[in-house]
Amino acid sequence: MEIEQFFSAGYQGSKSFKQLDVPNANATGFGAPTDDYMDKGIDLNEQLIRNKPATFFMRVQGNSMVNASIHDGDIVIVDRSIKPQSGKVIIAVVDGEMLIRRFEKTINKVRLIPETPKLSPMEISEYADFSIWGVVTYVIKQFS
Amino acid sequence: MIFMKAIVDCNSFYASCERLFKPALNGKPVVVLSNNDGCIVSRTDEAKALGIQMAGPYYQNKAEILKNNVAVFSSNYHLYGDMSKRVMDTLRLLAPEVEVYSVDESFLDLSGIDGNKLHDYAMFVKQTTELWTGIPVSVGVAPSKVLSKVANRLAKKDKLGSKGVIVLQTPQQQMEALQKTAVEDIWGVGSAGSKTLRMFNINTAWDLRNMSEAWAGKNLGGVVGVRLVKELNGIPCIEMKDPLSKKKMIATTRMFGRAVFELKELKEAVATYIARAAEKLRRQSGAAGAVSIFLVSNNNQSQYQYAPSSRSAYVALPSATYLTNVLIAYVMPLVEALYQKGSKYIKAGIILTDIVPCAMVQYNLFEKPESAASQKLMHIVDNVNFGMGTDMLKFATAGTKKNWKMRQELRSNRFTTKWDELCWVK
């Protein structure tokens, strides 16, 4: 289908940010010379969320992805609008269960690879109850 | 230019929100209950196939639900509200003009899209919304709003055949669709209206479309009837509306989780509702000039006999205000006046009316304007409550125990709005 011609990029601005969000000093004496150079500041939402309506946060249970430095209790940011290419970490749905795994797609097969020696890769047959929920874009972990 | 409107409607919206985070329920029957777990307000196709009725009381369907292993949820408005916003935000990127019609449906203006690409575009809207938000939708496209609703209904009824999208472009397509639509199923025709139409032997939307405007004006309530017939003919008369961002009135009404007998508890409930409504009032920078309250009691013995009686009262404020404490102070005497000892109260509500922008409040000579301190207090209360959770800070009148609070026994997590209720992945 010729869908591409209507809409090119996956992201065309679902973040909202206004000029007014930029703070300035509002100094009462001399005008602060820094006002012309004020930035909005670093906003984690803006940095970590590419497409707002398609982005979800989830919490990891267990250590299926330890070797990819994703640990029990970490929070992952999941974007549903990104194309799941081979090699990406995805949220997969297998038999109704939500799993975090590395997605591997070759010419004739699809596999879900855990990043721990304790679990073995899962081969997805043609008839399996399988779908991709979204692609993991970032991990948030607390150190202390 | 061809004028075209689309309506995008989420399929079994509340149930679909629940399924998104519990994919094991895909293909299985799911129902969502109303406030207090009273009635069924959302059903998946599988639940519909079991004969579970919309708006049917939960207790009447309980046996059927247990027997068929239907998944049941209390309504989780935090989740549905957030998912609704995601769907609407997605649609706003896909069409130049979007009118949010309800929590799960929006009209899109698709005028100017090349006629032979319209179906592809509608399909693209559907697929993008589903991919991004995970909520399945149906799309109906036609020259008028009423026709687009007809298209949407048919798309929903035959999901396999239509793939969720129906475009009514040619006169032939419109005729076939209208012939398949009973008068009851036309948007804006209520059950009373359809009885009138059936009396005139008008049974399908096609029959109605072929009536003259003069006839509709005479028999169907004047200009409304004429508009309906025109819309069915593909002549757009109902335009895209601007969002209702500033509400003219704000109401908070709830059923109690259990019957309330004591005046004290009743006052707590009303004070809580005022706090909630005043919060909404401040969010739109408004001030209310009057408040009405109503109390509903049901003195029947059986819980299934419903013969409620309602008493209400109204107070016009000396000057408009948005201060929760001032509103509470004016309303509490009304609750006392309406209260009848021994009555079994099941519901209460408050309505803020005569809403004006707070910059425009007219003070009279004898009233002190809102002091800077109380303004600041409201600001702090709102900030704490938005930041730390509803009711973190509240006025003591609103009570601390809330025995009357809404029953939500089967509520799922607020997966998208609460940091400590996120979905788990293994």
Distance separating alpha carbons of residues A106 and B375, to the nearest angstrom: 63
Q: Is B417 an interface residue toward A (CB < 8 Å)?
A: no
CB contact under 8 A, B26 and A7: no
Report the gap between the CA of B93 and the closest CA in chain A (Å).
7
Q: What local confidence, expressed as pLDDT, does residue B302 receive?
A: 58
Instruction: Give the 3-state secondary structure percentages of chain A, helix then strand then coil, rounded to 5.
Output: 15, 30, 55
Name every chain B residue with its beta carbon within 8 A of the beta carbon of A60.
424-426
CB contact under 8 A, B94 and A7: yes
Name every chain A residue with its beta carbon within 8 A of the beta carbon of B423.
56, 58-59, 98
Please provide the DSSP assignment of B368-408 as one string.
Answer: PPPPHHHHHHHHHHHHHHHHH-TTSS--GGG-S--TTPPP-
CB contact under 8 A, B425 and A75: no
Q: How far is CA B68 from CA A20, A22, A95, B46, B345, in A?
A: 55, 56, 20, 10, 35
Distance separating alpha carbons of residues B388 and B372, to the nearest angstrom: 24
- Best of A50, A59, A61, A102 to substitute, by most chain B Cβ atoms within 10 angstroms, is A59
Question: pTM for the whole thing?
Answer: 0.74
Name every chain B residue with its beta carbon within 8 A of the beta carbon of A50.
none
Name every chain A residue with its beta carbon within 8 A of the beta carbon of B132.
51, 53-54, 80-81
Could you tell me which of B72, B22, B24 has the C-alpha nearest to residue B47?
A: B72
Q: Is B124 an interface residue toward A (CB < 8 Å)?
A: yes
CB contact under 8 A, B422 and A12: no
* Option in B86, B120, B422 nearest A59 (CB): B422
Q: Which residues contact B59 (CB under 8 A, 6 or more apart)?
A: B304
CB contact under 8 A, B24 and A96: yes
C-alpha angle A40/A44/A49, rounded to 5°?
110
CA A127, A131, A137, A140 dihedral sign is: negative
Q: Which residues contact B118 (CB under 8 A, 6 or more apart)?
A: B4, B110, B141, B167, B169
* Option in A3, A52, A57 nearest B120 (CB): A3
Q: Which residues pair with B352 in a beta bridge?
A: B250, B291
Helix H or strand E encompassing B171 = helix B171-179
Q: What local confidence, expressed as pLDDT, does residue A3 receive?
A: 42
Q: Is B84 an interface residue toward A (CB < 8 Å)?
A: no
Sequence length of chain B is 426
Please provide the DSSP assignment of B55-101 as one string.
Answer: T-BHHHHHHHHHHTT-EEEE--HHHHHHHHHHHHHHHHHHSS-EEEE
Q: Is A4 an interface residue toward B (CB < 8 Å)?
A: no
CB contact under 8 A, B124 and A64: no
C-alpha angle B404/B405/B408, rounded to 5°?
130
Residue with token string 């205000």: B321
Q: How far is CA A50 from CA A12, A14, A90, B261, B424, in A?
A: 10, 8, 16, 52, 22
Distance separating alpha carbons of residues A69 and B333, to the nearest angstrom: 61
Alpha carbon distance, N-terminus to C-terminus of chain B: 52
Q: pLDDT at residue A115 above 60?
A: yes
Q: Is B69 an interface residue toward A (CB < 8 Å)?
A: no
Q: What is the pLDDT of residues A71-84, one digit of tens each?
A: 999 999 999 999 99
Instruction: Give the 3-state secondary structure percentages of chain B, helix then strand then coil, rounded to 5.
Output: 45, 20, 35
**Three-class SS of B260-307:** ECCHHHHHHHHHHHHHHHHHHHHHCCEEEEEEEEEEEECCCCCCCCCC
Report the gap between the CA of A79 and the closest CA in chain B (Å).
8
Tens-digit pLDDT string for chain B (426 aa)? 678 999 999 999 999 999 999 999 999 999 999 877 778 889 999 999 998 888 778 888 888 888 889 999 998 989 999 999 999 999 999 998 898 888 999 999 998 888 889 999 999 999 999 999 999 999 999 999 999 999 999 999 988 888 999 999 999 999 999 999 998 888 878 777 888 888 889 999 999 999 888 888 888 877 888 888 989 998 888 877 655 456 678 888 888 878 888 888 888 888 888 888 888 888 888 888 889 898 888 876 655 556 678 888 888 888 888 888 888 889 999 999 889 888 888 888 899 988 887 765 555 555 555 666 676 777 777 766 665 555 666 666 666 556 556 566 688 889 998 888 999 999
Q: What local confidence, expressed as pLDDT, does residue B391 receive?
A: 60
CB contact under 8 A, A80 and B133: yes
Q: Is A8 an interface residue toward B (CB < 8 Å)?
A: no
Alpha carbon distance, N-terminus to C-terminus of chain A: 51
To the nearest whole number, what is the mean pLDDT of chain A?
84
Helix H or strand E encompassing B250 = strand B250-260
| Minimum CA–CA partner of A129 in chain B | B24
Name every chain A residue with its beta carbon within 8 A of the beta carbon of B86.
52-54
| Minimum CA–CA partner of A64 in chain B | B426
Could you tell me which of B86, B38, B37 has the C-alpha nearest to residue B411?
A: B37
Q: What local confidence, expressed as pLDDT, does residue A10 receive?
A: 42
